[in-house]
Every structure is written in structure tokens, then in C-alpha cells.
Amino acid sequence: DTAVSQTPKYLVTQMGNDKSIKCEQNLGHDTMYWYKQDSKKFLKIMFSYNNKELIINETVPNRFSPKSPDKAHLNLHINSLELGDSAVYFCASSQAPGELFFGEGSRLTVL
Amino acid sequence: AQSVAQPEDQVNVAEGNPLTVKCTYSVSGNPYLFWYVQYPNRGLQFLLKYITGDNLVKGSYGFEAEFNKSQTSFHLKKPSALVSDSALYFCAVRDPSGAGSYQLTFGKGTKLSVIP
């Protein structure tokens, strides 16, 4: 039973399209995150929610919009996709500070 | 602002030899420090953490890390490397005080290759 699951695992799309990535955790954690990992493997936090409340909103284009319908789900919607959005997007959750459980990642390729 | 430096992009070690992956940090308060491992095409996995207490912390898969406040370092170590330890290792820091208290900042990662 996967602890943090993301769908889809792969997305290939054209520039200008809109796409969503879904994330669900069954660990009962209060905090969820979206991280972006670029082609050089550098990890950068994008958003964090605690009990459905946005607590971290890093310098991310407005085209990226997170949504947390409940504390077990954190989705990421991306409008007007650009080439530079190509990356692996990781969802994570935590209860203890800093101990994150990561999903397997969603690899987005924008053509 | 908090930051983490991993000075080595790659570390090569022979199987059975001890390994060290280096990490230094910068925070305004007392740091919470973490190591994560990422295997190819997988998400990151938590290895170990330092919050307070004993400077030597033990984690998963036989790894340990030593917190050194004077050198602001938190190096990852293992007495005897396995080929299966080959992966990408990330150091991370969290400053529990101030506006960034929820934020975990990762280093750029160090690729560990264990040679049979």
C-alpha cells in the first residue's frame, strides 16, 4: 500500500497546454509539499500545506496553482505550460518536522 | 536564510571501504539536519536526522552522520560501503526559528558510486 502516491507518473504535452498532477497520502500526516527537481537534480520547494492551509508559497509563477481538498490530498495544476516547466515534480508529506515521505515523482516533459 | 553546501558532485569508493559524503550548513538558529537518499527514478527516502543531543546519529542501512557545530558540518558516513549504496545523497537543513521554520532546504546532491 503506497504511502504517498502521485499520478500520473509521466506527462508529455505541448507548450501552452494545461495539466494537473494529483497526490494522495495515506499516512495521516498534516503537512504536504510539492517539490520540483530539475535536470541537474536540484530540488526546490514550491508549496507546502498544513491541514489544508497554504504555509509555504515560494517564488513560483502564477501558472502553478496548488489545491488541497483535504489533508490527504494535494494537487498541482499548471496552466500555459512552458518548456522550462519540464522537470520531475515530487509530492511529499510529513508529520515530524523535516522527515518527509516522498512520492515516486511525476516526470513532466513539455515539447 | 538557511543554506546547505555539498562540496562534492561525486564520490567514488571501493566496496568494503568506508565512505564519507560531506555537508556544511548555514542557519541563523540551531539547525535541524537531515540526510536523504535517492535511487534512480525514485523519490527521496529519509535516512537520518539530527535535532539535538548526541552529535553522532545513526540511521537506516547502516549510515550515520556526525554533527559538528564549530565546523557547521554534518557529514554522512558508513564504515563499509556496499554496491547497493550507489545513489544520490542529499543533505538538508531546517531552521526551526523564524519565518522559514517549515521549510526544508536541500543541498544540490552528491552522487555516490561504490565500485565492486
| Amino acid of residue A74 | L
Distance CA(B107)–CA(B22), nearest Å, equals 11
Distance CA(B79)–CA(A104), nearest Å, equals 29
Whether residue A59 lies within 8 A of chain B, CB to CB, comes out as no
- Residue B36 makes CB contacts below 8 A (sequence gap 6+) with A100, B44, B45, B46, B47, B89, B90, B92, B106
pLDDT in tens, B45-98: 999 999 988 999 999 999 999 999 999 999 999 999 999 999 999 999 987 765
Query: How close A94 gets to chain B, by Cα (Å)?
Result: 11
The DSSP output letter for A83 is G
Query: What percentage of chain A reaches a pLDDT higher than 70?
Result: 99
pLDDT in tens, A83-102: 999 999 999 999 887 899 99
* B93 closest CA partner among B17, B19, B36, B37: B36
Interface of B with A in 27-86 (CB under 8 A): 32, 34, 36, 38, 41-46, 49
- Residue A35 makes CB contacts below 8 A (sequence gap 6+) with A43, A44, A45, A46, A89, A90, A91, A92, A102
pLDDT in tens, B1-43: 789 999 999 999 999 999 999 999 998 888 899 999 999 989 9
Q: Is A48 close to B88, i.e. CB distance below 8 A?
A: no
Distance CA(A57)–CA(A66), nearest Å, equals 9
* B44 closest CA partner among B12, B91, B3, B5: B91
Count other C-beta atoms under 10 Å from residue B9's C-beta.
11
Residue of A nearest to B100 (CA): A56
Residue B106 has pLDDT above 60, yes or no: yes
Read off the C-alpha cell for B61.
Answer: 542501512
Query: How close A100 gets to chain B, by Cα (Å)?
Result: 7
The DSSP output letter for A59 is S
Distance CA(B52)–CA(B67), nearest Å, equals 10
B69: buried, middle or exposed (CB in 10 Å: 19+, 13-18, 0-12)?
A: exposed
CB B105 within 8 Å of CB B2: yes
pLDDT in tens, A46-95: 998 888 888 877 778 999 999 999 999 999 999 999 999 999 999 999 98
Rg (CA), chain A: 13
Interface of A with B in 72-91 (CB under 8 A): 90
The DSSP output letter for A84 is G
